[in-house]
Amino acid sequence: MQNILQEIGIENYIFLSALLFCVGVFGVLFRRNTIIMFMSIEIMLNAVNLLFVAFSTYHQDAQGQVFVFFSMAVAAAEVAVGLAILVSIFRNLSSIDIDNLKNLKG
Amino acid sequence: METSLILVLLLAPFLGFLFNVFFGKAVGKSVSGIVGTLSVVVSFAVTLYFFLQVNQTGKPISVSLFDWISFRDFNVNFGILLDQLSLLWLLFVTGIGSLIHLYSIGYMHDDENMHKFFAYLNLFIFFMVTLVTGSNLLVMFIGWEGVGLCSYLLIGFWYKNTEYNNAAKKAFIMNRIGDLGFLIGIFIIASLYTTLDYGQLKELIVGGTNGGNTYWIGAACLALFIGACGKSAQIPLYTWLPDAMAGPTPVSALIHAATMVTAGIFMITRMNFLFDLAPQIQNIIAIVGAVTALVAATIGLVQNDIKKVLAYSTVSQLGLMFLALGLGAYEIAVFHVITHAFFKACLFLGSGSVIHALHGEQDMRKMGGLKKVMKITFVTFLISSLAISGIPPFSGFFSKDEILMTAFHSNIALWGIASLASIMTAFYMFRLLYLTFFKNFRGTEEQKHHLHESPGLITFPLIVLAILATVGGAISLPGNSWLNGYLEPVFTKVSHEAHHFGNTEYMLMGIAVIGGLIGIGIAYMKYIKQSQVPGEDSEITGFSKVLYNKYYVDEVYDFLFVKPLNALSRFFRDTIEPALSSLVYGFGRTANYIGTSGKTLQNGSIGFYLFGFVLGVAAILTYLFLAQ
């Protein structure tokens, strides 16, 4: 494990993670398709997971990896709920474009 | 037995009041009047019984009806004290009250609200009895406020006339100013002595408790004196009394001449032991009294309304009484109160009789020659005028002479002022008499046709009062005074060793009588010999115009107090209130504005929400990084 970090420095993991996170953020901000937005959120989540794992290795501490397992399990559940909501939205509006979702207007 | 009799004395007028309020209209005018009169007569009879008893035994009757206020070591009983002073006052309050009730049956018979009139009169007697008989200052204060209320109700009895209502309001407000003084006086006394009971106060003060605290005692006396000023119409609070003549004439006679306005004198006499400790306040009282006597007398010289003349004469006479109080001659003040009650009630009722005969005319310029038709009224009026002018052997001579004599012995300037006021009194009373009863009638033909002597119900009280005004002086003859001996237990110190009667005293007496005769003589010259009649309002010029307009005191008060107060009210209404309300409204409007403008943020676009969310997170992160 140690040698991986020696070959590729920790800062590269951090940059990659930040990059992935930003990709996720911009995806959420600029795409109108709900499924793609959903995927962008998953990318953000995984960027964080990656960071967790990288630091876990760096600190020689397994706790971070344990958290990642939890986080992935929760994410899986969340995906199920999220997709169910999407299906329900599609059934109601015959569309998954967020511009059509304006029923929450005050 | 005593308690129940006292309750009868106190509650008879109150029951009369209740009866007249609830059933007065139903039972008709005559029954209403008779019940009203009887309830006061009952009080008078009980008073007479107690008076004879106390006069014989010399022991005051004191009854505590119930505990009223109990607070730590401060206790106030609702107690009744019938001692020499209160019984004397009760005698003429209920006695003259009965006569005036009787008179009112005749006088008010044409009024549609006669039952209401009797209800108010009875209520007044009830409160007056409470005021006089209370055994402590707080009970007196109940009566004090009550008579003020009744005075207000009765001045504004003909409530359809706005001017009368204004007069009623003026009287009430002026009295309130005095009442505040009285109340402050009570508070000071309560905090100094932790009791308000006359007996206990007297014991404490005579015993010398707090004797060193002269500053606060002086303040208490001054406050009480302001209260007395309001009720008894002294400078500077006297202007309500002449206006109070708006009420029906029996009211003027009962409340604004004989009884209520003497409440201030009663109070000071009651608290004589306290006032004795504050000689500087006594000086103020004497000076205020003397000045009031003179000022009111000068105004009285030129008034043309028959009741206004009598009103100013009342103020002037009250001033003389205050002069006596200020000189520590309480018994003489009481003496003058009594004789004044007789002759002034008689004068007012006489003027009422005249007004009744003329169907409401009060201007003396439109009277004259009534001597021939109204013989009884004329004779009683003449007797009372002689009495008030201080001509022997009528009652006013004795009391006024004693006041003048006391003044002479303490301060010759006060004596001079009082004597001048007395001469003026004689002048304007006979001016009134000559203009009203002598020469030819100056009213309309129709009025002349209807001229008549008043019915027996009106003349009977006049006759009784005239007799009392004639012989009333007998209760305190110079050198042999029943009154002084009778009242002795009320006072702490006999301030005056009975006047040593020497040449000076006889000379003073002579001067007083000659002064009175001079006043009468001038009036005779002007109004009988030269047949003058006061001119129209517009013809009055020079100083008499100032006098006719009452020194413009009302206007000055208007300028000094009423106008600034109105301006202040307007300022509050137009500036402060809008400012405050705009502040309060401002909060609402701001919240509303934030709400309406914030509403547009919630536009339902998820993309927008997410954008805001990301922006927020970015802002928080930036902040956290910068903060480190």
* Cβ(B437)–Cβ(B427) below 8 Å: no
What residue in A sits closest to B596 (Cα-Cα)?
A106
What integer is the mean pLDDT of B526-549? 76
Task: List the one residue out of B354, B376, B339, B433 whose CA is nearest residue B96.
Answer: B339
Q: Which residues of A touch B610 (CB under 8 A)?
A: 28-29
Q: Hey, are the CB atoms on B604 and A29 less than 8 Å from each other?
A: no
Name the minimum distance, in Å, from the CA of B612 to any CA of chain A. 10
Contact A98 B606 (CB under 8 A): yes
Higher-confidence position of B184 and B497: B184
Q: State how far the Cα of B148 lies from the Cα of B512, in Å rounded to an integer.
A: 35
Hey, what are B4's tokens?
Answer: 């129940």
Q: Which site among B602, B608, B609, B610 would you substitute to test the A interface, given the most A Cβ atoms closer than 10 Å to its Cβ?
A: B610
ipTM of the complex: 0.82
Residue A2 has pLDDT above 60, yes or no: no
A99 touches chain B (CB under 8 A): yes
Interface of A with B in 24-83 (CB under 8 A): 25, 28-29, 32
Strands (E), B53-132: 61-71, 74-82
Helices B330-357 and B306-326, axial angle in degrees (round to 10):
180
Q: Which residues of A touch B604 (CB under 8 A)?
A: 101-106
| Category of A64 on φ-ψ map: left (φ > 0), alpha (ψ -120 to 50) or beta | alpha
| Residue B363, strand partner residues | B305
As a whole number, mean pLDDT of residues B180-202 equals 88
Inspect the interface and report whether the beta carbons of B611 and A29 lie closer than 8 Å: yes
Residues B614, A29: C-beta atoms closer than 8 Å: yes
Query: Taking 80 as the threshold, does the pLDDT of residue B534 lie above it?
Result: no
Whether residue B579 is predicted with pLDDT greater than 90 in this model: the reply is yes
CB distance B605–A102 less than 8 Å?
A: yes
The confidence band for A58, taking pLDDT boundaries of 50, 70 and 90, is confident
Rounded Cα–Cα distance for residues A32 and A99 (Å): 7
Chain A partners within 8 Å of B606 (Cβ): 98, 101, 104
DSSP letters of B125-179? HHHHHHHHHBSBHHHHHHHHHHHHHHHHHHHTSSTT-HHHHHHHHHHHHHHHHHH
**Which tokens in the block code for residue A31?**
């795409």
Task: Using an 8 Å CB-CB cutoff, list chain A residues near B616.
Answer: none
Compare all CA atoms of chain B with the CA of A103 and give the residue at the minimum distance: B604
Q: Which pLDDT score is estimated for B585?
A: 94
Q: Does residue B594 belong to the interface with chain A, where contact is any CB pair within 8 Å?
A: no
Distance of residue A13 Cα from the nearest chain B Cα, in angstroms:
20
Tens of pLDDT, residue by residue over B303-355, are 888 899 999 999 999 999 999 999 888 888 999 999 999 999 999 999 998 88
Cα torsion angle, B543, B546, B551, B557, sign: negative
Residue B284 CA to residue B225 CA, distance in Å, equals 9
Residue B31 vs residue B502, higher pLDDT? B31
- What tokens does B545 get? 């115009």
CB contact under 8 A, A99 and B605: yes
Class of residue B577 by CB neighbours under 10 A (exposed 0-12, middle 13-18, buried 19+): exposed
Q: Is residue B65 scored above 90 in pLDDT?
A: no
Contacts of B259 (CB under 8 A, 6+ apart): B92, B93, B96, B97, B128, B341
What separation in angstroms does the CA of A23 have from each of A41, A47, B265? Answer: 10, 10, 101
Whether the pLDDT of residue A1 is over 60: the answer is no
Tens of pLDDT, residues B98-156: 999 999 988 888 888 888 899 999 999 999 999 999 988 999 999 999 999 999 999 98
Q: Do B614 and A105 touch (CB under 8 A)?
A: no
Residue burial B86-95, b: 16+ Cβ < 10 Å; e: rest = bbbbbbbbbb
Distance CA(B177)–CA(B179), nearest Å, equals 5
How far away is chain A from the Cα of B599, in angstroms, using its nearest Cα?
A: 6
What is the maximum span of chain A, computed from C-alpha positions, in angstroms?
56
pLDDT per residue as tens digits for the range B491-513:
876 555 555 667 788 888 888 88
Examine residue B578 and say whether the peptide bond preceding it is cis (omega within 30 degrees of 0): no
Rg (CA), chain B: 30
Convert the pLDDT of each residue in B557-575 to its tens digit: 888 888 999 999 999 999 9
CATH annotation of A2-100: 1.10.287.3510
Q: Kindly report whether the peptide bond that precedes residue B279 is cis, defined as omega within 30 degrees of 0.
A: no
